[in-house]
Chain A
Amino acid sequence: MAACYICGSEERPVMVKKNLSAGGWALFAVLVLFCIPLCWLPFVIDGCKEEEWKCPSCGVRRA
C-alpha cells in the first residue's frame, strides 16, 4: 500500500465519498440526450463512480 504523500503514514486510507467518474458523467450525458427517464441510473451504479480516499493521519484526500 502506498504511503501518504504528505505525512508518509502507511495507515490504510479511509473512503470518504463516491463521485461520478468521467465514464459516469459520459453515460449521464448520453442518457440525458437519448433516454431522459433513465438518466438517474449512473448515480446508483457503483461502476460509474470513483472513490475518494482520505489519509486517517493527516486528513489529506486523494483519488
Chain B
Amino acid sequence: MPILRSQTRLIYQVTRGIAFGLFGFYLLWNAAWLFSGVLPPSILTEATGIPCPTTGVTRGMAAILNGDWVQALLWNPLMPVYAGLLIYSAIVLGLQFIRRKRLVLRPIIARFWMLALTMGWAAKFVIGPQYW
C-alpha cells in the first residue's frame, strides 16, 4: 500500500518531535546525574564502548569549574565551539519558535555544526580512550 502524503507529513512531524524530545531527555538525564552528585557517563560509550562527538563535554565543564582548562580541553577540545553553537542555535530557534516562524538555522551555522561534530569526533579518537 503506498504511503499517503498526509502520512509522510505525520511521520516527519512525529520524528521531529522525537528528535527534540531526545535532546530534552539528554538534558534531564545529565541533570539527574549531576543533582545526585555524580558526573554523567557518555550514553554511547556506556552502550557501545565508542565515544560520540560530544562525549566528555560535561566532565570538561566540571574541569573548567575546578580551573583546570587543560583537562577540560582533553575531555573535549571542541567544547567551547559546541557551547557557542548551542547557545546561538538555542537563541535563534527559540526566537523563531516564539514568533511562530519556521525553525531554520543559517547555512553557515549548519556547516559549522557539521564541521565541529566531525572534528570533535576525530579528536576523541586522537586523544584516546582514557578521555572517553
Residues of A within 8 A of B (CB): 17-20, 28, 32, 34-47, 61
A1 CB, min distance to chain B CBs, angstroms: 23
Q: How many residues of B contact A (CB 8 A)?
A: 27
Q: Pick the contact of A40 from B8, B23, B121 — CB < 8 Å? A: B23
A39–B26 CA distance with the chains assembled, in angstroms = 11
Q: Collect the chain A residues with CB atoms within 8 Å of residue B8's CB.
A: 19
Q: Pick the contact of A44 from B15, B26, B53, B103 — CB < 8 Å? A: B103
B31-39, B59-67, B71-79, B104-112 - the one binding chain A: B104-112
A19–B5 CA distance with the chains assembled, in angstroms = 11
Report whether B52 and A43 are in contact in the complex, using a CB–CB cutoff of 8 Å.
Answer: no
Report whether B117 and A44 are in contact in the complex, using a CB–CB cutoff of 8 Å.
Answer: no
Residues of B within 8 A of A (CB): 5, 8-9, 12, 15-16, 19-20, 22-23, 26, 43-44, 52-54, 89, 93, 102-105, 107, 110, 113, 117, 121
Report whether B23 and A44 are in contact in the complex, using a CB–CB cutoff of 8 Å.
Answer: no
Report whether B20 and A45 are in contact in the complex, using a CB–CB cutoff of 8 Å.
Answer: no
A3 CB, min distance to chain B CBs, angstroms: 22
Contact (A35, B53) CB under 8 Å given A43-B16, A44-B105: yes
A34–B26 CA distance with the chains assembled, in angstroms = 13
Report whether A36 and B104 are in contact in the complex, using a CB–CB cutoff of 8 Å.
Answer: no
The 5 A-B pairs of least Cβ separation, nearest first, read A40-B19, A45-B110, A37-B26, A35-B52, A43-B16
Report whether A43 and B22 are in contact in the complex, using a CB–CB cutoff of 8 Å.
Answer: no
Closest to B16 in A: A43
